[in-house]
């Protein structure tokens, strides 16, 4: 009967040691980070010992639990961001968590994803209660054995102070004096502060635009009469085409596409761009290319799309083009298509007449997206069109995958009805990292194949396509420490289109080598406007 209180106290002390150190384990990936002394628990134990009021002690214990749980949540989210997006989580961009939930729901289903979210919330609340209990239980034990308890607490505190001053280690590489939870919260706050400072400089960056005052009649003069498409291929990164287990298949698709397009009279040149994002948040890349500003965070994006910064679509519309946004992953009208990018027409999955099955996140197959666009924008006599088209069949989770069908049989998309059942579902694919990488490669082959199908079947001698990736795929595909480099190509039948960019020194064909030029993505807008306009800014 006397062992239960002792066991409970041992459990309480163990929780006070381990829980505040857990964020450090998540950050370093090393269990050795648990062999340290957490300052957070020392502080709460000392505070509780000094407070005579029971109600106040309970409140302090609850606050302690909330701080540690907040640090754990931040560390867990940050670890997820690093593993998928190769960046740290910024608390000021918390709305991105909704997008993350959407990706998880596409991978495992809405109901399982919602259940996981609910379980996580209950677990966090329960942990707050458990940690508050552990702090109060330890305090009660010290009060029952005041002399011995005070001596132990004082000794441990002294060890922490000496360890902090001397930098001593209980295990190699891990300082004995730890403040893992505090450090996690402080780091997150620091990132939010950096974002706030970047936002403060944004107004000047927006104003510093060499093309803001250029007459529309002086822009894009060398593309007059051309139909110009900017095709973003989702997750089409350098790993798709160079030195990976899946790049061979993608390279074969590109070489086959080159041969077919050459037979149709097309010419192509390619290079590399550095994307501001990795693994997701594609709209950061889209806005960077369009505005000529480096948009590497959601908070910057939210600010920029409320400015009057000149975009490529602005420039084309002012110069007389009919401008189109085609984003088949949008499930509802996108207000900034008109208010910031000033597109004349905006397509989403609700207004393109698609009656086929859903393919996970990429509900509408890329080939259907391109066929609908061609039928409604490029058929017969028409005002020259500029469009941004997002090809999203290669968006994570890369399953189930659609297959190419004859162009003339695409119709309303019902031809795709049998295809989801013919592919492995994402719930199966994501059990095996090797299978994830295989399906990623196949998804890129499908998206590129859809683009080649479009180019072969659209009889438009004035067509110009800028095809590029928005970012590298997530770390499970790209690998740890991957760069942010993506391929970019210009494809056209008119040789003058490529002569105008001869100074760029891009390489012939659709498959750039490692020696091809590499630009930051924000450099593209100004170089494009300089190459194809009579005003250079």
pLDDT for position 2: 47
**CA–CA distance from 68 to each of 41, 116, 184 (Å)?**
9, 21, 10
Give the angle subtended at the CA of 316 by the CAs of 218 and 237, to the nearest 5°: 120
Of 387, 301, 310, 379, give the one whose Cα is nearest residue 347: 387
Predicted TM-score (pTM) of this structure: 0.76
CA count, 13 A, side-chain hemisphere, 166: 10
pLDDT for position 524: 98
pLDDT for position 222: 96
What own/partner pairs with CB < 8 Å and gap ≥ 24 does 195-200 have?
A: 195/90, 195/92, 195/93, 195/297, 195/299, 195/300, 196/92, 198/297, 198/299, 198/300, 199/299, 199/300, 199/303
pLDDT for position 415: 97
Tokens of 196: 């706030």
Q: Count Cβ neighbours within 10 Å for each residue of 344-365 and write b for 16 or more, e otherwise.
A: bbbbbbeebebebbebbbbbbb
Can you tell me the distance from the alpha carbon of 407 to that of 404, in angstroms, rounded to the nearest whole number? 8
The H-assigned helical ranges of 350-432 are 366-373, 419-422, 426-429
Burial class (CB in 10 A: 0-12, 13-18, 19+), 417: exposed
pLDDT for position 160: 53
pLDDT for position 121: 86
Kindly give the confidence (pLDDT) of every residue in the chain, 537 residues in length, as a single tens digit, with 9 standing for 90 and above.
Answer: 344 557 888 888 888 778 888 887 777 776 766 666 677 777 878 778 777 888 888 888 889 889 888 888 888 887 877 766 667 777 776 666 666 666 566 656 677 777 887 888 888 899 889 888 988 888 887 777 666 656 666 665 655 555 545 555 555 556 655 567 777 888 888 877 777 777 667 777 788 898 988 898 899 999 999 999 999 999 999 999 998 999 999 999 999 999 999 999 999 999 999 999 999 899 999 999 999 999 998 888 988 999 999 999 999 999 999 999 999 988 888 999 999 999 999 999 999 999 999 998 889 999 999 999 999 999 989 999 999 999 999 999 999 999 999 999 999 999 999 999 999 998 899 999 999 999 999 999 999 999 999 999 998 999 999 999 999 999 999 998 899 999 999 999 999 999 999 999 999 999 999 999 999 999 999 999 999 997 554
The DSSP secondary-structure symbol of 353 reads -
Strand partners, 466: 230, 490
pLDDT for position 241: 96
Q: Cβ contacts of residue 219 below 8 Å, gap of 6+? A: 211, 315, 318, 319, 529, 533, 535
Q: How many CB atoms sit inside 10 A of residue 80's CB?
A: 14
Residues 429, 436 contacting (CB under 8 angstroms): yes
pLDDT for position 1: 39
pLDDT for position 393: 96
Of 130, 128, 140, 131, give the one whose Cα is nearest residue 9: 140
Can you tell me the distance from the alpha carbon of 516 to that of 269, in angstroms, rounded to the nearest whole number? 10
pLDDT for position 74: 86
């Amino acid at each position: 009967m006397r062992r239960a209180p002792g066991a409970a106290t041992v459990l309480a002390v163990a929780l006070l040691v381990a829980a505040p150190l857990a964020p450090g384990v998540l950050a370093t990936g090393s269990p050795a980070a648990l062999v340290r002394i957490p300052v957070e628990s020392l502080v709460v134990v000392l505070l509780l010992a000094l407070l005579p009021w029971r109600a106040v002690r309970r409140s302090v214990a609850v606050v302690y639990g909330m701080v540690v749980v907040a640090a754990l949540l931040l560390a867990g989210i940050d670890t997820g961001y690093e593993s998928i997006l190769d960046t740290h989580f910024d608390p000021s961009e918390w709305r991105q968590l909704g997008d993350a939930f959407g990706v998880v729901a596409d991978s495992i289903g809405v109901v399982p994803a919602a259940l996981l979210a609910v379980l996580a919330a209950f677990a966090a609340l329960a942990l707050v209660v458990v940690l508050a209990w552990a702090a109060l239980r330890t305090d009660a034990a010290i009060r029952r054995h005041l002399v011995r308890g005070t001596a132990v607490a004082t000794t441990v505190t002294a060890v922490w102070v000496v360890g902090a001053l001397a930098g001593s280690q209980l295990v190699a590489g891990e300082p004995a004096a730890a403040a893992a939870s505090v450090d996690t919260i402080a780091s997150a706050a620091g990132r939010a502060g950096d974002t706030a400072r970047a936002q403060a400089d944004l107004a000047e960056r927006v104003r510093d635009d060499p093309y803001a005052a250029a007459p529309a009649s002086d822009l894009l003069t060398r593309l007059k009469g051309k139909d110009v498409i900017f095709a973003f291929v989702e997750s089409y990164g350098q790993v798709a085409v160079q030195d990976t287990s899946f790049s061979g298949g993608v390279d074969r698709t590109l070489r086959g596409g080159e041969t077919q397009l050459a037979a149709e009279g097309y010419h192509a040149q390619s290079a590399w761009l550095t994307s501001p994002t990795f693994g997701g948040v594609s709209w950061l890349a889209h806005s960077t290319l369009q505005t000529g500003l480096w948009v590497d965070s959601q908070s910057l994006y939210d600010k920029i799309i409320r400015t009057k910064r000149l975009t490529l679509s602005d420039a084309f519309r002012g110069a007389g083009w009919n401008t189109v946004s085609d984003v088949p992953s949008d499930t509802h009208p996108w207000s900034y298509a008109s208010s910031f990018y000033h597109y004349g027409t905006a397509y989403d999955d609700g207004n393109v007449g698609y009656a086929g099955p859903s393919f996970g996140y990429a509900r509408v197959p890329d080939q259907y997206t391109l066929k609908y666009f061609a039928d409604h924008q490029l058929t017969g006599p028409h005002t020259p069109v500029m469009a941004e088209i997002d090809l999203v069949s290669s968006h994570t989770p890369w399953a189930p995958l659609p297959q190419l069908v004859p162009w003339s049989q695409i119709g309303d998309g019902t031809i795709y009805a049998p295809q989801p059942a013919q592919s492995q579902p994402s719930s199966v694919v994501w059990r095996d990292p090797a299978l994830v990488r295989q399906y990623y490669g196949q998804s890129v082959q499908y998206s590129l194949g859809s683009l080649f199908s479009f180019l072969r079947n659209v009889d438009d001698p004035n067509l110009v396509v800028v095809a590029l990736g928005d970012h590298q795929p997530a770390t499970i595909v790209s690998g740890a420490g991957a760069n942010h480099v993506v391929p970019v190509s210009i494809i056209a039948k008119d040789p003058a289109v490529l002569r105008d960019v001869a100074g760029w020194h891009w390489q012939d064909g659709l498959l750039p080598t490692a020696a091809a030029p590499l630009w930051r993505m924000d450099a593209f807008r100004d170089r494009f406007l300089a190459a194809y306009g009579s005003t250079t800014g």
